[in-house]
Structure 1
C-alpha cells in the first residue's frame, strides 16, 4: 500500500471510529449495554438457525435502525420472529423514529425510556398488527399542539371513541381487532391504549394486578411517562386528570401490581423476575401501602434450601393463584414487597414442598419448611385477610368533571354510529332467509361478529351455493370462539373449510370438532392446513395417518423445547414452529394438534387436564412427549359430599371451590367448564362431584372458600389422593361466619327518587313496602357496575324467591338512558329503576355509612324500613350477588 493510500485508509478509519464512538449516531449510546444487546442478538441468531428468520438484516438500514432492530430481535419472543416478517418490524421501528422526530416531546424522552416503553410493538400476549402505523396517522395532528400530560389524556379520549369495556375470553385481540369490534376486556383495552400512546412517541406500559386480594377477578390499566414520572389511567376510560380511575379504591387494597418490560431493563423499580427476554417489575408502591417480607426455605433438618421455587399466592376465584414466583438464593432466602394483607407462600424443590401464610406488614420474616410430599391426606383451615382500603383521589373541579362528561357522551355517539353499521337481529334474519339457514343461528353468528360481519357473511354466502358446504361452514363457525367470530380472517375460514381431509371411517362429530375445527387452545387461529399439506411429502402424510405415534416421534425428534424462547408472547403459530423448529411446550402442543388435524388425524388439548390427545376411533389416547412409549393413563374417581348451607345450595367451581393436581411439588389447576363469561352454568358440586368424576391417579388439593363482605376469605384446604380403579371420598365444606348480622348504620327509607317508569317522585318506602329491600346507585357503562349487574343476574332465581324490591337508581337521567338491562342476561323481576334527584340518596348513603369516596359507584345497601342497614358495598366487587344472598339468607333464619 503506497503512502497516499495509507493516509486515506487511516483517515477513513479514524473518521469511522470517531463516528462509532459518537453517541449521537447510536440508538443505544451506552457502550456496555449496546455490547450486551449485540451479544444477545448474535446468540439468538445462532439458536434460531432454521427458517431464514433474520434476512431483514440483509437490507439497507441506518445505524440507528439496525441497532433498534437488533434490540427487538434480541429479546422478542420466538413467536414474533417466526410469525411476522422482518419488514413488519422495520416499518414499526421507522414509524417510532418518525414519531420521536415529529412529536414535540420526542427529544425529551430519555433514551432508555424510549427503548423499553416506546419502541417495542408487543404489549402483552396479543396478536401483532399494523396498529402503530395506522394510529400514528390518525393521532399525530390531534396531539401535536398539546403538552405531554394533555396528550396522554387526549389519546385516552380517542381510545374511548373506539373501544369500551365488555368481558370476553382470555385470548388478547390485537389493537386493530379491538377497534373493529368496538369493545374489549380490560387486558385488551389496556393493550390497545398502550399501543396508541406508543404510536405517537409517548412512553407507556400495561399494569396488571394478577389477581385482586379483596374480590375475585383481576384488572389491567395503563401507566404513561410524563416529564420524568409515571402516571396511571384507566384504558379507554378518560378522566379529567391523571392518576384517577374507578379502580383507585380497589388498587389501594391490592397485594401486587406488576408490568413486564421488554428486554433487560435497568430502571429503579423492584425486579421480580429477570428473564432472557423481559424484566418483570413490581410497582405496588404506586398504589398501596406496602411492606417487605423475607422468606427463608429450609429442609426437614432446618438447613437452608437454595434454588427452591417460592410462589406467592393470592386467594382468588376459589384457588390460591400464584401472583409472583421467585427462587431462593444460596442462603435459602428470597423476598417480596406487597400490599399489607395475607398471602399463601408455597415453596418447592425436587418434589418436596411446604407452605404457610404470610401477613405482610405484620411479619417481616417467614420460614417455610419443605416437609410435605405427595400422597399425604389431611385438611386445614386458613383465614385470608386482604389489605384495608386507603384510596387517594386527585382533585377534580366541577368544571373539569362537566367537560369530561360532555366529551365522553360525544365519544359514545361517535362509537355508537360505527356500531350501528353492524348486523342487527333483523338484518341477520333477512340474510338467513336469503341463503336458507336457521335464523337463530344466523343472528348469533352475524350479530356476534360485530365489525367482522363482512368476513362472516361473505364466507356463508359463498358456501351457500352448495348445501353440504353450507352445513359445514355453519358448523365450523359454531365451533370457534365468540372472539374468533370478531377477528378471524376469510383466509382462515376458507382454509379450514376446504382443506380438512377426511381420513378413514371417522365419526362426523369427531371430524367436525377435532379435525375441521381450527381452534386448539388460546392461540390466534391461522390457515395452517394448506401450509402443512404443501410442506409435508405425500408419502410421509400416509405414514403419519396410518400411525399417529410416528408423528409423535417426528415432533419429539425435530422440535426443540426451550421454555424461555417465547416468554411474554402469544403461542407461536403452528407454521412458525415448523419454520423455527423450536418452541415452548404449550406452542409445541398446539403445533402437534394443528399438524395432526391438517393430516386428518383427530386431536385436541384436553380443556381440564391440558393433556395432548389423539383419537383412535372413539377411544382417546394421551400423548406424553417425554415418554419412550405412549401408555394409557390410570384413573380413579373423586366423589365429594356436601351439606348445603342456607346461603348456598350448590357450590360453583371457580366461585366456591377448585381442584389442583400436585405435580413435582407444585399445583396445577384443573380447568373445568366455567360457563358463560361472568355468568351462569359451568361446573358445580352437583354436576361434578356429587356422583363422582373420573380423574388421573395422583395427589390433589381441593380448595374451598367463603368470601365475606369485607373481602376476608374463610378457606379450607383438603389434600387427597386418587388411586387406580378406586373411589376417593372427600367432604366439600363451605365455612361459615356464625356471627349474627350486625346493624352497621341507618338510612332513611322515606327518601324520594324519580321513578323511571312514571317520571313521578315517589319514596323508597312506597315502592318496597315494609321489610328489607336493596337500594343502589349505579354508574352506567362503568366496569364496576357491569360486574355488579352480572353478579345480580346470576342470583336471579334466589332474589326473585326472596321477593323484596331492589331499587336501582342512577345519578341522572343521562345515566339511566345509557343503561341497557338486556346486556345482563336476565335480571330479577323485582328490580325497580329510578333517578336519584339532586343526588340526595347518594349523599345520604355516603354520610350515613361514612363512605370515604362520595363518587365511587356503584353503592349497594341492604336495609329495612325501620331504617337499619345490614350490608353495604361500594365500588368494584366480584360476587356481589352471592354476598348479598348470604346476608338475605341470614335475615330469613
Structure 2
C-alpha cells in the first residue's frame, strides 16, 4: 500500500478510482486532465487525484481541471497563512477543509472571494472565536427564506442575502473552510415530531467538533434554537466525499462517498438490529431503508445493506421507524418502536405479490387494503436555557445582531427599486408591472438581468422577457446574461416551419428550465450537433432523437448521490451521466430544435409533444433493467374520493396525504404539486401498477395517526380511492384558569376601544425573534392561513424585543387582526412565565392562546412546524365552545 506521509492518503486506492474516473471522462479529457501535464508538486498531484477520485460525474461534466488545480493551490496557501493551519490533523484537513463542495450546491469561486473579506477579520483570534466571528459575518450576508430544492452557490446567497437552511449551512461551511477551519454540514434528513427537516454546521476547533446555527450567531459555541428539537431526531448525519475511516458510525458506505452518524452528539440513542429472511426462513442480503413519516410520506433517513446473515444495525433515537427492505426480487415492511424493541426480523416476499393480495379486506373494493398505524416520535425534552453567558456578553451579542441586520438591510437597499424598474421598462418599451416583478425577484442579480434586457434588440426584448417569466424565482437570482442570450437567440434562429405546435409553447419550448439543474447555455450547442436534414427528421419523429442520444450517452446511476444535477450540454459532451440527467439532455435537445418536450409532472418521464399529444420516451437501457416486458408505459387513472366522515378535513398533497407507485421493490412518491388541494376535481393520469396511498394526521405531541391504502391501477381503467383521514378527539385544555389582574388588564388593552367586550373571542399572543428561522416559519404559516384566521374575530399580538425589528414583521400578508408590539427584553413574557409552569428557558417563539374568559388554552415554546394549523384548531374549538354555551 502506498501512503502519502503528508496526508495519510491510500494512494493505491485513490489511483485506481482516479483511473476509473478518467476512463469515464474521455469525452472531456483535455478540459479535465491537461492540468496534470503542468509542473505540479507531488503534493498537488496527489490531492488533485484525490479530488478526481471521489468527484461526482456531474462535476466531471461541468467544470474544468484548471478550476480544481487553482482550488488546491488556494487551499494550501490558506493552510500556510492562517495560524491554525499547521495544527489540523491530516485526516481532518483532507475531509473537511480540502473539499471544494459541501453538498449539492452549484460550484463557484466563493472560497477565494470569502477569504478576501474574512481572513483579516479572524486571523488574530483563537479557532473557537474565529468560528463565532465567521458566523457573525454570515449573518451579515444572509437570512432565512424557504425556497425550492435546488441549492444555489454561496456567492448567490451573498448576492441575494437569502437562503434556506441547506443553503445557509453551505455558505457557513464554505466560509469556515475558506479560512482553513474544518467544517461540515450536518442535518436531520427529516424531523420525527413535525414535518420538514433542518441543516446546521459543525466546526472543528482544537481537537473537538462544535455545533452552530448557520447565519444565526450565538455568543458561544454548541448553542442554537435547534438544540432542543434535535433531541427528538432519529438521525443526524453528514456526508464525506471519500472512503472515510473516522471515529463516527458509518450509516452509508458507498464507493464514492460516506455518510456518518452524528446523532449521539445531540440526543439519547440506542442501537437497533434488523434481520431480513425469505419465506423459508433463510437469511437474505437486502437493502434496508430506515424510514420516517414526514410530509405525508415515508422518507428513508438512511439505507444499509444487510450482511450475509441478513443483519443491518443502526444507532437511532427513541421513537418509531418504518423499516422497508428489498432485493431485486423480494421486499417487506414493518414498523419498529425503538422504545420497546431493539430487533426486528422482516420476512421478504416476492415483488409480484401485491400488498393487498394476502389480506382479507372489508373495503367495498376487494382490491383495496386499508391498514391503520400510528407513529410516535421521541418525547419532547424539558425546556432549558442552554449555555449561560454573562450580561455583558449577552448585551454585546445583541448589539452585534442588530449591527449585522443593519449591514444586510443596507445591502438589500442597493437592489433595483420600483422607480428604477419603471425607468427601465419605459426605456425598453415593456410593461412596467412585468419588468418590476422580474427585477425585484432577481434581488442582487437584478443588474445582470437588466443588462441582458438592455442588450436585447427591440425585436428580441419581448421574447427575452417571456424567457425570464418562464423561469422559477430562484433562477432569476443566479442566471447570467450569456445564458439568457443563448436561449433567446436559439429560439429566434429556429426556422419558422420548425415550430411544432404546442398549446404551452413558452413552457415546453421557450423555457430553459427543465428540472433542478443549474441553468446554462445549451441551445446553440445542440443546434450544432446535427445537420438540417437530421434535425427535420427529429422533429418529424422525436424518438429518432432519443435513439441517437441513447447511442451517445452511457447511463451510470451508481456514482452520484444526487441525480439530475449535470447540465445538458456538459452531460452530452462527457457522454456518461445518470438516468435523470440523460432525460434532461433529451428535453434540452428537443427544445433546442423547436420540439415541445418536458419531464412528465407525476413521474418525471421524458416526453415530447407531437400533433398536440404527449408521448413518453422509452429508453432501451431502462427496459433492460425492468422486471416486466412491457414495451411502452401504460396509463390508468386515480380518482380521489372524499370520505363521508372526513368532510371537515382539507386534503393537501404532501401535507396530509401522498400516493406512491411500487417500482423495483420500493415505493416512489408521485410528484403531484406540493400543497395541491383541488384533488377531488378530476382524475389523475398515472402509470398502471401497484400503489400505496398514505394519509396522516399530525397530533399536538408530534405523533401521527395514519392509514395505508394499497391498490392496483389497471391499464386504461380508473380506480376510485377514498382519502381516509383518522382523527382523534383533542380537547382544548385549560392550562390556567385565572390570569393575574395585571395580565387581565393587559388582555383588555389589546382590544380596540369600540369593541364589545362580550363579543371578544380571545387572543393569540406570540413573542418572536424575527431574525431566527423558527419565527419566520411561524409568520409564514400565519400568512398561509390568513383567510381561515380572519373568520375568527379574536386578536393576534406579535411581540418583539426592539423597535429596530419592526421591519422584519411585515403585516400585509398576515391576518388583518394582527398587530406588532414592543416587549423590551421580553419583560411581559417573564410575567407570563411566572404563571405558566410549562414555560422555561429562552427558547422562542412563545405562543399563547387566551379565550374570552381569560383562560389560557394553549402554550407552545420553541420550534414546531405546523403551529399555524394547531392555532386554527384551537380558535375554532373555542368558537364551538362559545356557540354551544350560547345555545
TM-score (normalised: structure 2): 0.92
Superposed CA offset, 1:742-772 (max 9, x none) = 32345627545999xxxx9936798894543
CA–CA distance in structure 2, aligned partners of residues 21 and 313 of structure 1:
40
SS class of match (2:667): strand
Q: Which of 590, 595, 604 matches 2:589? A: 595
SS class of match (1:742): coil
CA–CA distance in structure 1, aligned partners of residues 859 and 281 of structure 2:
47
Q: Is 1:798 aligned with 2:788?
A: yes
Q: Is 1:560 aligned with 2:551?
A: no
CA–CA distance in structure 2, aligned partners of residues 489 and 22 of structure 1:
44
SS class of match (2:458): coil
Corresponding residue for residue 406 of structure 2: 413
Corresponding residue for residue 767 of structure 2: 777
Corresponding residue for residue 693 of structure 2: 702
CA–CA distance in structure 2, aligned partners of residues 841 and 152 of structure 1:
34
* Structure 1 stretch displaced more, 491-500 or 569-578: 569-578
Aligned residues of 1:27 and 1:65 also touching (Cα < 8 A): no
Corresponding residue for residue 656 of structure 2: 656
Q: Is 1:238 aligned with 2:217?
A: yes
SS class of match (1:230): strand
CA–CA distance in structure 2, aligned partners of residues 764 and 153 of structure 1:
43
Superposed CA offset, 1:223-272 (max 9, x none) = 10111111111111111011111111111111111110111111011101
CA–CA distance in structure 1, aligned partners of residues 657 and 573 of structure 2:
42
Aligned residues of 1:846 and 1:854 also touching (Cα < 8 A): no
* Cα offset, 1:647, TM superposition: 9.1
Corresponding residue for residue 810 of structure 1: 800
Q: How does 1:302-381 map to 2 (within 5 A)?
A: 302-306=281-285, 308-371=286-349, 373-374=353-354, 376=356, 377-381=368-372
Aligned residues of 2:415 and 2:446 also touching (Cα < 8 A): yes
Unaligned runs of 5+ in 2: 357-367, 881-887
Q: 1:34 to 1:851 in 2, by over 3 A?
A: farther
Aligned residues of 1:233 and 1:243 also touching (Cα < 8 A): yes
Corresponding residue for residue 679 of structure 1: none
SS class of match (1:737): coil
Corresponding residue for residue 734 of structure 1: 725
Corresponding residue for residue 435 of structure 2: 442
Corresponding residue for residue 743 of structure 1: 734
* Structure 1 stretch displaced more, 277-286 or 589-598: 589-598
CA–CA distance in structure 2, aligned partners of residues 808 and 827 of structure 1:
11
Superposed CA offset, 1:62-117 (max 9, x none) = 11111110100010111112211111111110111011101000000000100000
CA–CA distance in structure 2, aligned partners of residues 213 and 512 of structure 1:
41
Q: Which of 813, 817, 823 matches 1:836? A: 823
- Counting matched residue pairs gives 851
* Cα offset, 1:610, TM superposition: 1.0
Corresponding residue for residue 48 of structure 1: 25
* Structure 1 stretch displaced more, 88-97 or 404-413: 404-413
Q: 1:92 to 1:718 in 2, by over 3 A?
A: same
CA–CA distance in structure 2, aligned partners of residues 871 and 707 of structure 1:
17
* Cα offset, 1:538, TM superposition: 4.3
Corresponding residue for residue 257 of structure 2: 278
Superposed CA offset, 1:606-652 (max 9, x none) = 23211111111211111121249996532222223224778944211
CA–CA distance in structure 2, aligned partners of residues 729 and 641 of structure 1:
6
SS class of match (1:802): coil
Q: 1:495 to 1:852 in 2, by over 3 A?
A: same
Q: 1:754 to 1:203 in 2, by over 3 A?
A: farther
Q: Is 1:431 aligned with 2:406?
A: no
Aligned residues of 1:80 and 1:569 also touching (Cα < 8 A): no
Aligned CA-pair RMSD: 2.5
* Cα offset, 1:51, TM superposition: 2.2
SS class of match (2:132): helix
Corresponding residue for residue 39 of structure 1: 16
Corresponding residue for residue 639 of structure 1: 639
Aligned residues of 2:564 and 2:584 also touching (Cα < 8 A): no
SS class of match (2:255): coil
Superposed CA offset, 1:635-675 (max 9, x none) = 2222232247789442111111111111122011111112x
Aligned residues of 1:746 and 1:848 also touching (Cα < 8 A): no
Aligned residues of 2:8 and 2:91 also touching (Cα < 8 A): no
Aligned residues of 1:621 and 1:632 also touching (Cα < 8 A): no
* Cα offset, 1:866, TM superposition: 3.5
Q: How does 1:43-442 map to 2 (within 5 A)?
A: 43-52=20-29, 53-306=32-285, 308-371=286-349, 373-374=353-354, 376=356, 377-390=368-381, 393-442=386-435
Aligned residues of 2:502 and 2:596 also touching (Cα < 8 A): no
Q: How does 1:573-592 map to 2 (within 5 A)?
A: 573-592=567-586
Q: 1:771 to 1:599 in 2, by over 3 A?
A: closer
Aligned residues of 1:777 and 1:808 also touching (Cα < 8 A): yes
CA–CA distance in structure 2, aligned partners of residues 754 and 417 of structure 1:
40
